[in-house]
Each structure stands twice: as structure tokens, then as C-alpha cells.
Amino acid sequence: MMPLDLYLSYLVAALIVIAAPGPDSLNSLAIGLARGRREGVAYALGVGVGCLAHTLWAMLGISAIVAASATLFNVIKWIGVAYLVWLGIRALRSKGGIASMTDARPSAGNAAQRFRQGLLTNALNPKVMLFFLAFLPQFVDPQHGIAVIWQLGLMGLTFTVITALAYSALAWSAGSVGARLVRHPRIALGLERATGIVFIAMAARLALAERK
């Protein structure tokens, strides 16, 4: 399906991109610290699945349509901004994460919620959509005709798996530290506030994004 040397070149590039600090990795870290390993890893996995969604958009040509339409780009962007601001306000108004880290049943529900948050914050970011549209085709072998679609799928799946594993490891390690810190109510509350600030900073960053 895809020449090995081309795939290996893509793999190296993807590892470099994923290793670079960004909003999603920072928030995986923040949630791991504030809410524990379970919720941090769930958020990270959601971000990974969001990458898979962007791969699907690229394969179907939807990313190209968004790239060509300022209106569609802005609609998706402002939906994403509104969602991030809402998440940030919720975190800022929270009374802390101690209860969810000591009660297994709420934690399971919160983990599912964090997964959806990770998925939506990534999927509603048109800049990520355009990144996939620009990044993946650089490593496609056009001589294989229709197989190009499957090459895009393979690269997107690879990016998804690496992102999910890397960010989950980050959230897991942060959660180990956070589990000790949240025993102190003031620290737990401060970490929750920091998570809210990160969400709002992500919203501001996205609001300033321009279609290029």
C-alpha cells in the first residue's frame, strides 16, 4: 500500500510533530494533575480519536472544502471557541476535584465526559483540520492511484495511535503527582482553576487563528 521508506519518513516527522508542546498535550497534563490519571488519560484518548476524525475529513475531501471556504472555516472555529470557553468557565467555577478522585463511580462517568471533551476540542479545531490536509499528502505516493486514500488512512491511524499513547503517558505521569497534591483542598482548587485557564487560553488561541 505504501513504500516502507516513505512510511518511515512520515513516522519520523509525525513523532517530531507530536513531541512538540501544544494545547492538547498541555491540557492532558493539566487535567491529569487536577483530576487524576483516569480523567487525564481519557482526555488524551479523546484527542487521539479526534486526530482520526481529521484523517477521515482529509480522506473524504471535507478538509479541502473547509480550506477553500472562509465561511465554513469561521463557523467551525467559533463553535470550537464557544465550546472551549464553556469548558473553561465550568472548570473555573468548580469546587475542586477531590470527590471525583475518591469515588470510583463518579470517576467512571467523568472519564467518559473527559473523553468527549478531548474528542470535541480536537475535532472542532479547523487549524488541526488544515494541518492534516497539508501534512499527510506530503508523504503520499501518487503513483498508486486510488490507494492514496488508504495511504492517508494508514498515516492518520498511525498519528492517532502515537498521539493517544504519548498524551496518555503524559497524563498518567501527571496524575501520579496530582493524586498526592489533591489531598490538600487549596492545591486541588488551584489545579482546577489552572485547567480552566488552559481551556480559555486554547479558546483565545483558536479565536485568533486565521485561514491560510
Residue 138 grid cell: 506530503
Which ranges of 36-94 would DSSP assign to H, the alpha helix?
37-60, 62-68, 70-93
| Alpha carbon distance 159, 71 (integer Å) | 28
- Lowest model confidence (mean pLDDT) among 12-16, 71-75, 114-118, 190-194: 190-194
Residue 4 pLDDT: 84
Residue 211 pLDDT: 65
Number of neighbours of residue 186 by Cβ within 10 angstroms: 8
**Predicted confidence (pLDDT) per residue in 80-124, tens digit:** 888 888 888 887 887 654 444 434 334 556 889 999 999 999 988
Average pLDDT across the chain, whole number: 80
Most confident of 71-80, 98-107, 172-181: 71-80
**Predicted confidence (pLDDT) per residue in 25-63, tens digit:** 888 888 888 788 889 999 999 999 999 999 988 888 777
| Alpha carbon distance 197, 156 (integer Å) | 30
Question: What residues have CB less than 8 Å from 136, skipping those under 6 apart?
Answer: 55, 58, 152, 155, 156
Question: What residues have CB less than 8 Å from 200, skipping those under 6 apart?
Answer: 84, 85, 88, 89, 92
Task: Give Cα 83 distance to the centre of its chain.
Answer: 14
- Give the torsion sign (CA, 147, 152, 154, 157): negative
Residue 183 pLDDT: 56
Q: Any idea where the domains of the chain sit in the sequence?
A: 27-207
